[in-house]
Structure 1
Amino acid sequence: MALSQAVNGIDKAFGVLNGTAPAPACIQFDKTFGEQGPQSEDCLFVNVWAPASATPESKLPVKVWLYGGSNMAGGISNPAYDGCHAAVDSIIVSANYRVGPLGFLALKELGLSGNFGSMDQMLALRWVQDNISAFGGDPTKVLLFGQSAGAMDTYTLASREEAPQVMRAAAMQSGGGRDLPTIDQVQEWQTRFADGLNCSTTDLPCFRAASTSALQAAVAGMPKDPVVNSYTPLVYDGARARWGPVVDGTFLQHSPSATGSRVPAIFGSTANDSSLFVIPAFGRDAFTLNQTVYDAFLVSNFGPLASRVNETFSAADKFGGRVYAAMEAVITDASYKCWAYQGARTAAARGSRPTLPGRDAHGRDPLRVQHDQRSPGAGGNCTLKSTEVELARGMSRAWTNMAESDEPGDAGVWPAFDDEAWMGGQCWGEDGGRQIGLQQLRVLGRD
């Protein structure tokens, strides 16, 4: 069955809600991943899927889903996130949260520390604790899992002291393990948004008076870098920060990498994690990019270490002159694979396990976990092969096992993380010949 209930629960003051109607998405700030259905500021809803046979005595494991979308878009009514196919051995919950400036505006002079979207996610987890038993779920067996920005947000919540109270385990695909900027580091970025609204950073009434369309226009008008950027410390700092959680000293006292996941966790990436970003950024020109463009890309992402990364990821020597392919490899490793390794390494003592590199691109694995055959793309309808169906069932079951027992499965199928055995302590490319070592990331200021 599919039920949609307000995160704050059913209350007589609210009356009866239609649990079969799709919930509106929160206000969207990105067209690439934006939802096409209704949007509203009244958007804090959860979807709950349960087996038809579930009763309050079933005590089933619970899997709570956080969608991706660069923390600028996304929503639980996206048909790609339908949990009907996966709700066979567990309860599936998906939670809406605010995105863009409505979710993460962090202007110190305005008295705003951001992290409102993260607070929405925590509210949903607390709702699960209070209400999931009525749907047949066990509140002591909760897995929080997310992809892309949802994985980064999952890592953020899993690193908080409260994590063991609201989740038993966490699974992060293509985004887990990343560091977060401090509130000081994002002030220049946030100020640019204020400029787009023609509001001073101390004029709260100006922000409150802004219409939805004005907020969206201000975000759309913010300056963009001329090249594609990965998640490196240079990109986090200053005017190139992104919307998302920040280390504010209150809701989030430390960067997640400083504490690691406080619950058993899975960190994963895919072999072509960045293919969704590089070619669309350049369009048809992607296939004719030259070394000058590549150099600008490397300097933008790695600063003084650009030449060193160029040696390891030489477009001419290792990618047949295909600059776009070299960019994809760099971003896949620097933005996803290395962060997954770092997250697993930090939390290894708590039972963390990394996923093996997949064959798919960014965004495909969540469909497998949820047994879905629809693509997140506009109007997509991708039919899974029989081998993919089996893989989907296996992945879904592994995630259920994490919720139920902290273990994804038999050790022979999914071995525990071992620092030296896994890639020899480095972040390697899938061909075994490319790497961005952790020392390079540390030089850039992470440690």
Structure 2
Amino acid sequence: MQQATPQFLFKFGGSPTELPWGPTHSAGKSRSAPGSPIAPSSSVCFSHPWTSLLVARGKRSCLLVLFSRKGLHKSCPQVLENLEALAKAINAKLPTLTISEDCLFLNVYTPAHRSKNSKLPVMMWIHGGGLTSGGASFYDGSALSAYENVVMVSIQYRIGILGFFSTGDDYARGNWGFLDQLAALYWIQENIEHFGGDPDSVTIFGESAGGLSASALILSPLSKGLFQRAIAESGVANLPGFFISHPEIARFANRVANYSGCEETNSAAMVHCLRKKSVEELLEPIRTKKIPVIPAVVDGFFLQKSPGEFVPGEEGNPVPFLVGVNNHEFGWLIPNFLQPDFMEGTDREQIDAFLMKSNPLMGEFAEFFHLATEEYFGETEDPSQLKELVLELFGDMIFVFPAVKTAKFHRESGLPVYLYEFQHRPSKYSDLRPDFVKADHSDEIGFVLGSPFLASDLSMLSVATDEEKNLSRAMMKYWVNFARTGNPNGDDLVEWPVFDHREQYLEIDLKQKAGTKLKDHRMRFWTETLPQKIQQIIKEKKEHSEL
């Protein structure tokens, strides 16, 4: 194993670092998506809060970078208390947290002893956080880079109201965070060779909202040619509740504005009012959980139509695709965030309260959710069983079903698709979570990034058994093999079957093995039984209205 040298990229201060193989970037240069430079030297991307967010038409998302070997940088505006609560829940150490609107940074990790002419595969990490929280500096890519000889880039993008607010018209088109991700991909195309990376071998990967982002980038006409492979961990573009279209965009914009103290109903006045608000005022709807998610939108620019409307094999930018979930996505982390007392004990009253708070996550299923509860709960009244069934239902609805559906969609492109289910509960959580919790949301990240081998405070697996270290080595190999060739398989690894019409996948535990038809009975409910029941209800309503 060789060492990895982190190269931190910043927006402010000084001149570019002179790296061993020569200068790499001109000070003050910026890149916008889709391409026009907009920020002069020594200024910021958006000199006034919200200027590029609420006035731009998609061409002002920018990434201004200067090279520095300094420490970590500021995060995009978000509710820090939520992030700190998350860190506590997963027993993770975070850097000192500060936020700023000037937050479009990226970090590059590259092997220290690469040759001058190296052309290594590049992996661009997109952080998760429900499109409302997170940051690049919470993830250390040095182990993955050093062990697997790859260049890793972790990026930041605008989140929450400042990243995704939309009025559905020219006043605020939305999807600014996605345009920031595109800007980072443009930067990689122009600069990554100076770090030993190959701009023609770029893999985008991310978890949760980061996986959703990777999945959405595949569907966007703006991303064509910017990456060659994609990995989506516990999140895809068709997650319920994360994309909205007209007329829901206008209704949602009104809700956000009202909760932010703006009662105006037309777009121009609404935007004018919001521009006057401080960052803290704009974060208040998320802080109070009145608006738990700021969804992305079908804007006709970044995304031409809803993810579920794309024709398999005919639209988007097909690339080899690796996608998967954990076997207890709704086991602990997310329900604790939504309703902390939910895990203390469960009866029907608590379940109903939990379902009410979780309504924004149901998306298209909200109107017919009673059909899902009938399927999963049956006649069960035992509180402990009900709790586990609620968690399974939400995990399947929000993560597993969308992942399997997306895998089938990409399969039709004719390019290889690989599906996984991560099943290992990290030993570090033995005293932190109830015994019934298995592999929860985000548990795989530390293994993918090689956290057992990190000495930094950012290690997600500061305590790991020898078996877990072996698991991490295997997962790093699978992921980077895929980034290198489009196929995760390699020497000394259990064979990972391609996801074809037999629907094989890889079960990833301390030992790996192939499986067939992930959660087949439950998936048939979501793909066959539920649509049939919904159509029957719609038919009966129509017949009743005609009487």
Task: Extract unaligned runs of 5+ from structure 2.
Answer: 13-23, 29-40, 43-65, 85-93, 425-438, 506-514, 536-547
Name the structure 1 match of 2:528: 439
Task: Extract unaligned runs of 5+ from structure 1.
Answer: 225-239
CA offsets, 1:295-339, max 9 Å, x none? 566685445644432343227649774322111101111111111
Maintained 8 Å contact 1:7/1:127: no
TM-score, normalization: structure 2? 0.70
Instruction: Please tell me the residue identity of whatever aligns with 1:363.
Output: S
Distance 1:212 1:298, change over 3 A: closer
CA offsets, 1:217-265, max 9 Å, x none? 24334636xxxxxxxxxxxxxxx8x323211111211233414662111
**Within the alignment, does 1:86 sit opposite 2:144 as a pair?**
yes
**Within the alignment, does 1:394 sit opposite 2:474 as a pair?**
yes
Match of 2:447 among 350, 368, 374: 368
**Within the alignment, does 1:406 sit opposite 2:486 as a pair?**
yes
Instruction: Please tell me the residue identity of whatever aligns with 1:84.
Output: S
Distance 1:169 1:442, change over 3 A: farther
Name the structure 1 match of 2:36: none
Distance 1:47 1:195, change over 3 A: same
**Within the alignment, does 1:270 sit opposite 2:321 as a pair?**
no
**Within the alignment, does 1:343 sit opposite 2:434 as a pair?**
no
Distance 1:262 1:104, change over 3 A: same
**Within the alignment, does 1:358 sit opposite 2:423 as a pair?**
yes
Distance 2:518 2:353 in 1: 23
SS of residue matched to 2:71 = coil
Name the structure 2 match of 1:223: 290
Name the structure 2 match of 1:326: 389
CA shift for structure 1 position 73: 0.8
Maintained 8 Å contact 2:125/2:155: yes
Match of 1:27 among 77, 81, 97: 77
Name the structure 2 match of 1:313: 376
What does 1:279-290 correspond to in 2, within 5 Å?
279-290=336-347
Distance 1:401 1:149, change over 3 A: same
Distance 1:145 1:162 in 2: 18
Larger Rg: 1 or 2? Answer: 2
Distance 1:248 1:425 in 2: 37
CA offsets, 1:372-392, max 9 Å, x none? 1489x9997641222221221
Maintained 8 Å contact 2:221/2:317: no
Match of 2:497 among 415, 420, 425: 415
**Within the alignment, does 1:3 sit opposite 2:3 as a pair?**
no
CA shift for structure 1 position 43: 0.9
Name the structure 2 match of 1:141: 201
Q: Higher RCO, 1 or 2 (CA under 8 Å, sep at least 6)?
A: 1
CA offsets, 1:38-83, max 9 Å, x none? 21111111100011112441111111000011110111111xx101
Distance 1:318 1:427 in 2: 27
Distance 1:17 1:426, change over 3 A: closer
Q: CA RMSD in A?
A: 3.3
Count of residues paired in the alignment = 425
Distance 1:52 1:267, change over 3 A: same
CA shift for structure 1 position 212: 1.1
Maintained 8 Å contact 2:417/2:500: no
Match of 1:151 among 201, 208, 211: 211
TM-score, normalization: structure 1? 0.85
CA shift for structure 1 position 108: 2.9
Distance 1:118 1:221 in 2: 25
Name the structure 2 match of 1:123: 183
Distance 1:290 1:254 in 2: 40
Distance 1:222 1:189 in 2: 15
What does 1:250-265 correspond to in 2, within 5 Å?
250-257=301-308, 258=310, 259=315, 262-265=318-321
Maintained 8 Å contact 2:318/2:410: yes
Distance 1:318 1:157, change over 3 A: farther
